[in-house]
Structure 1
């Protein structure tokens, strides 16, 4: 945690110093405000909206030796220049910031991202950015990964990252498909994180997490590898406010390796491979009673505290990239693949009695594709960027269901069911593709005025086929060296999440206890948006920054997601119309051993008329929403975050760092008199950390860590089990004390 200090020069920290003066023919007109220098305590850096991260090609600067470490820094700068924010809002967690967060590298990725403005937490590790559901894309070294199936787990880990960024707002044309936010992980390398590190971390609720990391760089080769094992009894949020959940064991395994080869001063090849394997017990909500009146071989009652449900989630991915600089042209071209699977094992008796169906459900998606991004530095005033993305995907779903057959009607007209369940099997498979190309021009009209304009063409051919041409434009004006204003418009096209589209045969379950009240199941359509954003950033004093930003999104076929039934598999659906708008404010201060930041955001997200996957909803809800606006289930009016860090014995060989962060929420939605008609109670959570570093005790240093999560032991509810697409209640983690030791060699 550190203050959300801004870096108006949206580039890699330290690159300018490492490379000296860039090519004078192309760099002198860069309109860059004075860079704010982050303090040594580390923290969340807010980059200045609209400033290009790199505005010169990666040609070898004169007077600098052609050494591998210098070449790689220059190539890192060139890669960053392929995808600058150019009018969007970017928040960056640097390496020092990540290590300062409570839990450090052990912090789940979603918890780290909650420190950025406009990010709200949800159950199952989900986050929402600016009122959207899961329309968030994840990139590794600038390469977008296809969506996966993980619901509970974080298949990408904070420990993979040398630094981490979140970009939102009116995005430039290079960002497609998922556009609520772009989360990019710049991976560690043997050059940036050399040597070996062994760590053991654990504490409350059997939390135990050993990990390792190793980085080495020699000549043209660079290798980094890291992995961890996590055993915990807090795998999923507790469905009650009790200190410990019932049946909540989780075992998880994560790993990543990156191998790079720098062929020459302008060429680099890299291979990244990652794995995530996680098993979860589904926690139980005690004292629940079956209400459907079903019988399983004569059993009509069941203790909900004894349910034994499990879910397994696997994700594997690989990325092969070629990066090349040819004169005034920089490019990166990548091939990638990602396999993701989810398997739910039910409690056969309990699930049938409580839900009317017991399902062994397995779903997988295999995605492969390519991505190419290029920047052509035409002149002092024009930089042309262009590229392509193609995802080819195959999803498979297999479900074995146990249901009770309908045997007649009672005197009141309600169905009667037999007590001898029957089994049904259903399997489906589908192959599809999403694709996109873009072209844009960064035009520096004046030293203080830049316009970035361009367009994308995107298409999808999966359960539905559709295309869209999407113009985008951002204007950035810097009237003074301390003031930056920006405004932008982006047209968005979001394909339906292929792995979350339900393709069930509704008639398959008619005449059973799993019959749907509604039998309509229209296909999920792509979302089409008009997105507007404007804001101002002001450097008040050196190290002190204030920013304000506002946004508005008008959506057609707004995509939302929900959990329907016992298997924790998200299913997508559309609202015919959607509106999302909000405001964000942030203040940051970072100087020497002191770092402070605070963020506050207000948002409103509404939708009207459900137009797909109608069978997942009741007839009453569909009728109400058909001609009325309702809050989206993830709509949260106020969110906030803040943090402070101070380093004692600053600059010594044994610094002691104390830090704390804060997350505030006004509460997600729940059913009231109408669907999603009320907000859950607001809450706040404080986390605290003490880290003692001993730089010369053993090897390259030892780090001792004490973390207290939910320091004040606040009881707060995330979900109460009601709302559109909400399956079960979840409460936030109670106070947890964790300790760790990390040894570097």
Structure 2
């Protein structure tokens, strides 16, 4: 009930902020085209119309140049574009072959020639590769690059290793930070797991349109992370009906064995079947499009271990005496050798993506996406002498998000993002009633004592971006962005550690005799309920005092509520928690200077804070 009141209050506050056109900090998932329109003599042209047409979806965006001849087309979805500039009395100028990357700002200037409007001057050119309007160190990969890169396992997360300063041990980290300190975003909404800090949703490779990794120098709109920022945009349908599918089969006969493997023994069982496909197209040309993707991986595999068995003659006299006293015949041990244990394992993963894009008008668009993942796989083995594990991990995620973009005028843009999601995890023991056995100084029998356990997480997020662009002959161009965000979390979990009990034997003799020294077993209710709230505010200014210099300055504030236990124990006392975190003020500063044809010089300075993880 406390969570219900909290949700209503916070969401109501965010709606009020949106109605007041107060912006929110969410990852920059959109692209911007900006520049100056001038005549053949270099004089700026006010009032010219600049139009961007998405060659894939047919969506159209248009704006007019200001008194200084500047235009700015924000909130462009990544993809292929055609830009035109026109004004009565001048020939139309057209630039084709443009590809806008995720979160980029591309400078494209137009020079109009005197002539009839029906005449057109077409320039076909690639989008500039080097971005000169940001101080961030980053990597971008579009769909064309993803299609040609070799990716083992069909996971886009493998691509992150190509980023500058990336390290792949224990997850992916950047420039020496921890992997759990990154910020993950999909389609503009948060995708960071609250406990581990890693990516929450699992996207199929065919669902990814573009990946951007901000390594250092990111702006004030990004917060609650001290590592890198990973932004992902999912694919959308186009005016053309398109799709593809794949099927992969592999078993042990197609795999090379280790040169150290015993050739007298059969190869460990292995079979992998991986298949899927996607389909995208128009529901209404130039207005409404859909995209669907399904992928499944079914893997039957195994893990094995080999243990050496000594011959009877290899036992020490004391051991032989012990065996004889307990009437254990030496013939059971044979002539020595080894024993090999093969454990069957399986992985079954289903991944579904469904997305709808619609252009409500020339100034408004709406996008919705639903993501489902079912993942079943074996848990880590216990490493005991005789492993009765068979433990299974089961994960399920359901996420839905909406994005509304509204171009309020030629220099004002508002973006609203809403996300609702649930993650479910269940760790089950292979033999729920099996008690563990432990022999002091000897060996253990049984599986892991940490199972069963489980967790269900909910996330509610509302964010809203507002951008206002101003320009003048003396001050240059300012692109001011302000924002706020609300993220509400709730995590319900249980952890029945050693609820099945463990018998401890002081010696091997006691184990043979069946006389344990003690039994340890936990009892009670291990359920936990942990709600949490995260709020953020930021203000940033991207100032271009000249065509070769861009200054990025901003300030961010983050507040994280107290991490407390909602459920009380039998005495009515709540468990210990973490106090609220409210002193996270983060200034950001950076510049990019591109003198002439020389590569841009970049420098940044920032103070960042990370979200307190639940474990």
- The two structures share one fold, judged by TM-score above 0.5: yes
Query: Relative to structure 1, is the Cα distance of residues 352 and 278 closer, same or farther in structure 2, using a 3 angstrom cutoff?
Result: farther
Contact persistence 1:394–1:430 (CA under 8 A) = yes
What is the CA distance between 1:437 and its match in structure 2?
1.1
What SS is found at the alignment partner of 1:264?
coil
Which of 172, 186, 199 does residue 127 from structure 1 map onto?
A: 172
What is the CA distance between 1:159 and its match in structure 2?
1.8
* 1:460 alignment counterpart: 560
* 2:24 alignment counterpart: none
How far apart, in 2, do the equivalents of 1:24 and 1:352 lie? 78
* 1:99 alignment counterpart: 147
Which of 247, 259, 262 does residue 200 from structure 1 map onto?
A: 247
What is the CA distance between 1:276 and its match in structure 2?
0.8
1:209 aligns with 2:274: yes
CA-to-aligned-CA distance 1:548-573 (integer Å, 9 cap, x gap): xxxxxxxxxxxxxxxxxxxxxxx3xx
How far apart, in 1, do the equivalents of 2:161 and 2:599 lie? 27
What is the CA distance between 1:140 and its match in structure 2?
2.2
CA-to-aligned-CA distance 1:439-493 (integer Å, 9 cap, x gap): 1111112221111111111100031301222111111111232311111111112
Query: What value does the CA root-mean-square deviation take over the aligned residues?
Result: 4.2
* 1:451 alignment counterpart: 551
How far apart, in 2, do the equivalents of 1:465 and 1:22 lie? 45
Matches within 5 A, 1:499-538: 501=614
Contact persistence 1:196–1:213 (CA under 8 A) = yes
CA-to-aligned-CA distance 1:310-347 (integer Å, 9 cap, x gap): 11111111111110101111121011112112111124
1:277 aligns with 2:323: no
* 1:299 alignment counterpart: none
* 2:3 alignment counterpart: none
1:259 aligns with 2:350: no
TM-score by length of 2: 0.61
How far apart, in 2, do the equivalents of 1:189 and 1:28 lie? 30
Matches within 5 A, 1:199-348: 199-204=246-251, 205-217=270-282, 218-219=284-285, 220-233=287-300, 246-282=343-379, 284=381, 288-289=383-384, 302-304=385-387, 306-327=388-409, 328-347=411-430
Matches within 5 A, 1:61-210: 86-103=134-151, 107-123=154-170, 126-133=171-178, 134-147=180-193, 155-191=202-238, 194-204=241-251, 205-210=270-275
CA-to-aligned-CA distance 1:383-415 (integer Å, 9 cap, x gap): 1011121101111111223354799999xxxxx
How far apart, in 1, do the equivalents of 2:237 and 2:375 lie? 27
TM-score by length of 1: 0.51
Flag the structure with larger Rg. Answer: 2
* 2:454 alignment counterpart: 362
Contact persistence 1:163–1:185 (CA under 8 A) = yes
Query: Relative to structure 1, is the Cα distance of residues 64 and 337 closer, same or farther in structure 2, using a 3 angstrom cutoff?
Result: farther
Contact persistence 2:100–2:106 (CA under 8 A) = no
What is the CA distance between 1:422 and its match in structure 2?
5.3
Query: Relative to structure 1, is the Cα distance of residues 27 and 346 closer, same or farther in structure 2, using a 3 angstrom cutoff?
Result: farther
What is the CA distance between 1:96 and its match in structure 2?
1.2
More moved, 246-255 vs 356-365: 356-365
How far apart, in 2, do the equivalents of 1:64 and 1:324 lie? 29
* 1:426 alignment counterpart: 526
What is the CA distance between 1:153 and its match in structure 2?
8.8
How far apart, in 1, do the equivalents of 2:200 and 2:301 lie? 12
How far apart, in 1, do the equivalents of 2:376 and 2:164 lie? 32
CA-to-aligned-CA distance 1:594-630 (integer Å, 9 cap, x gap): xxxxxxxxxxxxxxxxxxxxxxxxxxxxxxxxxxxxx
* 2:593 alignment counterpart: 477
